[in-house]
Amino acid sequence: MKGDAGSPIWIVVTLLLALVVGITMYQLLQKTSADKTFGNWMDEIGGGQAELTLSSFCESWYDSGFVLGAVNEATQAKATVAAAYEGATVNYFTREEFEFGERLSDCDCAVYLYQIGSIDKLETSKWYDPDECHELTNAVAESRGLVR
């Protein structure tokens, strides 16, 4: 008789465990399908598309005042890969930085926009912070005389 009274608890525990496993699997599948790898993004970006993708992202982010809430994460990831595109004139990012979860910062975009002539030096200096920019962007900033 005592064994029969404990059975409903094991059924509830089993159902809860199955629910937790199911939710975890669902989240893992969603994350896997949502996150593209560097290679996936690189395949989407052709030679001429890299600079267009980067320009479009940085200009729209600049227009919103570099407000982080205005950034679509997928678009930012694609622009980050574009900034690391091997065929581009100047690279602002590396594959390793992307794979560590780094993404373009407002500083990176400001330096890029300055380099292509979309914003002036004074405006760039408002956004330029060597601690916020990535290493390759800082090298570009230094070569352009933006270092304080």
Q: Residue 96 is encoded by which pair of tokens?
A: 């390793």
At a CB cut-off of 8 Å and minimum separation 6, what does 141 contact?
A: 111, 128, 130, 133, 147
For tokens 């992307």, what's the residue? 98
pLDDT tier at 111 (50, 70, 90 boundaries)? very high
The rounded distance, in Å, linking the Cα atoms of 46 and 62 is: 24
> In degrees, to the nearest 5, what angle opens at C-alpha 67 toward C-alphas 100 and 103?
15
End-to-end CA distance of the chain: 82
DSSP assignment letter at 68: G
pLDDT value at residue 121 = 92
The whole-number average pLDDT for the span 106-128 is 93
Q: Which three-class secondary structure state does DSSP give residue 39? A: helix
Q: Kindly report, residue by residue over 33-56, the tens digit of the pLDDT.
A: 445 788 877 777 776 788 889 999
Exposure string for 23-40, b = 16+ CB within 10 A, e = fewer: eeeeeeeeeeeeeeebee
- Residue 82 near residue 90 (C-beta atoms within 8 A): no
What is the Cα–Cα distance from 81 to 79, expressed in whole angstroms? 5
Q: Which residue has the higher pLDDT, 116 or 25?
A: 116
Residue 105 has pLDDT above 90, yes or no: yes
pLDDT exceeds 80 at position 27: no
pLDDT over 60 (residue 112): yes
